[in-house]
Amino acid sequence: MTEAFEKAAEQVKTLTSKPEYGEVNLLYGFYKQATIGDVNCERPGILNLFGRRKWDAWNDQKGLSKDEAMAAYVQLVEKLKAK
């Protein structure tokens, strides 16, 4: 699974169309969960909207195993490539 995940992480950089807002959040959340695990830091302050959005996307994947997050990431990248 790790090889497919790494390949998908490279392919996402060369997508022909920009993913939608929600898809970007999912990609980020799955990637962080797959590479680090559950959120391990405090939620950014209210004035850091971008940081909060990223933290929330990661926190939404809390509880997924690294393998589950990798599989979900690969599946999402394949879906985005098909667009």
The vertex-34 CA angle with 73 and 29, nearest 5°, equals 65
pLDDT at residue number 1: 80
Q: Is the pLDDT of residue 4 over 90?
A: yes
Considering only residues 28 and 17, tell me which one the structure prediction assigns the higher pLDDT: 28
In the predicted structure, residue 83 carries a pLDDT above the cut 90: no
pTM for this model (two decimals): 0.93
**d(Cα 36, Cα 64) in Å, to the nearest integer?**
11
For residues 55 and 3, give the distance between their C-alpha atoms in angstroms, rounded to a whole number. Answer: 26
Domain ranges of the chain: 2-82
pLDDT in tens, 23-70: 999 999 999 999 999 999 999 999 999 999 999 999 999 999 999 999
- Residue 54 and residue 49: Cα distance in Å, rounded? 9
The CATH code belonging to domain 2-82 is 1.20.80.10
